[in-house]
């Protein structure tokens, strides 16, 4: 079920959320609606994730994984089929694909593994130390009042 939601009222009353609204609007008109290749997204821990794509019929050298800024792109391009046989039925998808995943801030792409037709890509949230919460020590108030008095004295001396 798709619905067109108008984000205009929110865009008028918020600052700095343009990218979020663009992503939400792009999600409603996704070009990957055909569902190929199928994939799973698994949360493996508090800050770790894994994306697994079913890429049967592809070899690892025919798949490209590119991470840039907040986007992960997986592309598959099949090599020319050199077999002399004539297919009576072709049930394994042989078409090229491109699947894009939008990543949140501080999500880093780790290693990618290919096993039994499944491509697994590890993701981890790595928050910079400066962005993590830190505990502020509370003094007894004397140090703050001394600093204020010394600033006042310096201001009076220079005046």
Strands 107-115 and 118-125, bridge-based pairing: antiparallel
pLDDT, residue 1, reads 44
| Tokens at 80, concatenated | 């020319």
Report how far residue 151's alpha carbon sits from residue 20's, in angstroms, rounded to the nearest whole number: 45
pLDDT at 29 over 80: no
What six digits make up the tokens of 17? 């959320």
Question: Which range among 30-34, 53-57, 86-90, 92-96 shows the weakest confidence by mean pLDDT?
Answer: 30-34
Q: Are residues 71 and 9 in the same domain?
A: no
Same domain, 57 and 125: yes
Any domain includes 98: yes
Give the model's confidence band at 95: pLDDT under 50 very low, under 70 low, under 90 confident, else very high.
confident
Structural domain that includes position 98: 35-130
Q: What is the mean predicted confidence (pLDDT) over 55-63? A: 92
> Do 1 and 18 lie in a common domain?
yes
Whether residue 61 is found in the same domain as residue 125? yes
Do 78 and 52 lie in one domain? The reply is: yes
């Amino acid at each position: 079920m798709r619905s067109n939601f108008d984000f205009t009222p929110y865009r008028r009353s918020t600052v700095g959320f343009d990218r979020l609204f663009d992503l939400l609007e792009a999600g409603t008109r996704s070009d990957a609606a055909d569902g190929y290749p199928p994939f799973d997204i698994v949360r493996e821990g508090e800050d770790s994730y894994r994306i697994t794509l079913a890429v049967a019929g592809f070899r690892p050298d025919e798949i490209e994984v590119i991470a840039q800024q907040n986007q992960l792109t997986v592309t598959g391009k099949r090599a020319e089929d050199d077999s002399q046989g004539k297919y009576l039925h072709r049930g394994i998808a042989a078409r090229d694909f491109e699947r894009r995943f939008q990543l949140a801030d501080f999500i880093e792409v780790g290693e990618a593994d290919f096993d039994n037709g499944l491509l697994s890509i590890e993701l981890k949230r790595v928050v910079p130390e400066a962005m993590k919460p830190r505990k502020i020590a509370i003094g007894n108030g004397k140090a703050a009042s001394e600093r204020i008095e010394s600033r006042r004295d310096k201001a009076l001396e220079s005046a």
